[in-house]
Amino acid sequence: MKAELEQLKIEAFQLLNRAQDSSAVDALEIDLLGRRGKLSTLLARIPELPVEERSGIGTLASSIRKELQDAIVAKRGQFSAPTSQSLDFDPTWPGHSPSIGHLHPVTAFLERSADFFASLGYTIADGPEVETATNNFDRLNIPANHPARDLWDTYYLNPARAGLLLRTHTSPVQVRYMDSHKPPVYIISPGRVYRHEATDASHDTNFTQLEGLAIDRDLHLTDLLGTLEAFLKHTFGKVKVQVRPSFFPFVEPGVELHMSCLLCGGKGCSACKQTGWLEMLGAGMVHPTVLKNMHVDPAKFSGFAFGIGVERMTMLLHGIPDVRLLLSGDQRFLEQFHY
């Protein structure tokens, strides 16, 4: 009987190897392992065997049954398409899309603005965030002890070197640049500035300005206003703008541009301090004293300058109600600004 079982196993494997499709495997399974299959038929004869021949037959038969069953399952697998059960992962499960970073809304705004000014022929000038008091104030016509310094309260570095501070505006880049350039110049200078402020929805201690400086023959206030109007149209499309006279020691005359608050539609909200208007930038014709400090002859050249509040414009552009969100690093906020 043992020999017959071994023989059955050999033949079964040969037949299984030759099977061409899964229905052949099914038929073979019934023929070999079915209730009236070859194995059962063989085993049905056990009671007829002499007692001494019976031992070990049961164990051998069940190990052969197991081997055949495994071989049948494997063979069937060759014919069937992979299914979720035969793979250890589910190929229909949606994948994890990699999260792709994007520009911070302030950076995106700066890049768009730089493109615009580049189209007018402006180049980009850079300057340090740690400035000398001379560049930040004195050369911009704000002498020590002048009350105008109160407008730009800032952080001084290391009292022993009292001349260094965190720049309060990007205007010192104007004088730095003119130390090594001659008119005509058309530059913009984007960068971070610092002020000692009580923070609120529209003020932070740390923000971004986009400075502009043009020095050429026969530049007038109308050139300044035309440039700014073109910029605001480029950025916002149609907006209501007010030009108000203002005082900055480094320009004469000086103006402020206010835009109607797009956050509340001009009705008044916390961002515009209930006035319906937001101050967006300071500007003016470069003061003759400052031109002289820049080694430029005010009799031959004139110039205009502007300093744009980048966060405020970004807020209006996207309807962001609080400037502090921009530096919060909160991904739930930032992820809304895919461009």
Taking CB under 6 A as the binding criterion, the range among 72-80, 89-97, 157-165, 279-287 that sits at the site for ligand PHE is: 279-287
Q: Establish if 227 lies at the interface with ligand PHE (CB under 6 A).
A: no
134 by Cβ neighbours in 10 Å (0-12 / 13-18 / 19+) ranks as: middle
Look at residue 105 and give its three-state secondary structure: helix
Amino acid letter at 320? I
Residue ranges in 80-213 assigned as alpha helix (H):
105-119, 133-136, 172-178
Q: Establish if 194 lies at the interface with ligand PHE (CB under 6 A).
A: no
Q: List beta partners, residue 259.
A: 241, 278
Q: Which of 307, 310, 315, 323 binds ligand PHE (CB under 6 A)?
A: 307
Q: Which of 183, 190, 282, 303 binds ligand PHE (CB under 6 A)?
A: 282
Rounded alpha-carbon distances, angstroms, from residue 32 to 4, 13, 18, 125, 290 = 13, 11, 15, 87, 104
Q: Establish if 251 lies at the interface with ligand PHE (CB under 6 A).
A: yes
- Cβ(282)–Cβ(312) under 8 Å? no
Q: Which of 214, 283, 285, 323 binds ligand PHE (CB under 6 A)?
A: 283
Q: Establish if 171 lies at the interface with ligand PHE (CB under 6 A).
A: yes
Taking CB under 6 A as the binding criterion, the range among 55-63, 93-101, 281-289, 327-335 that sits at the site for ligand PHE is: 281-289
Look at residue 90 and give its three-state secondary structure: coil
Q: Establish if 191 lies at the interface with ligand PHE (CB under 6 A).
A: no
Q: How far is the CB of 104 from ligand PHE (least distance, A)?
A: 21
User: Using the 8-state DSSP alphabet, how is residue 310 labeled?
Assistant: H
Between CA 145 and CA 283 the distance in angstroms is 23
Look at residue 258 and give its three-state secondary structure: strand
Q: Establish if 195 lies at the interface with ligand PHE (CB under 6 A).
A: no
Q: Which of 9, 139, 169, 312 binds ligand PHE (CB under 6 A)?
A: 169
The catalytic residues are 152, 169, 195, 209, 251, 305
Q: Which of 306, 313, 314, 326 binds ligand PHE (CB under 6 A)?
A: 306
Taking CB under 6 A as the binding criterion, the range among 73-81, 225-233, 299-307, 325-333 that sits at the site for ligand PHE is: 299-307
Residues found near ligand PHE in the complex (CB under 6 A): 169, 171, 248, 251, 254, 282-284, 305-307
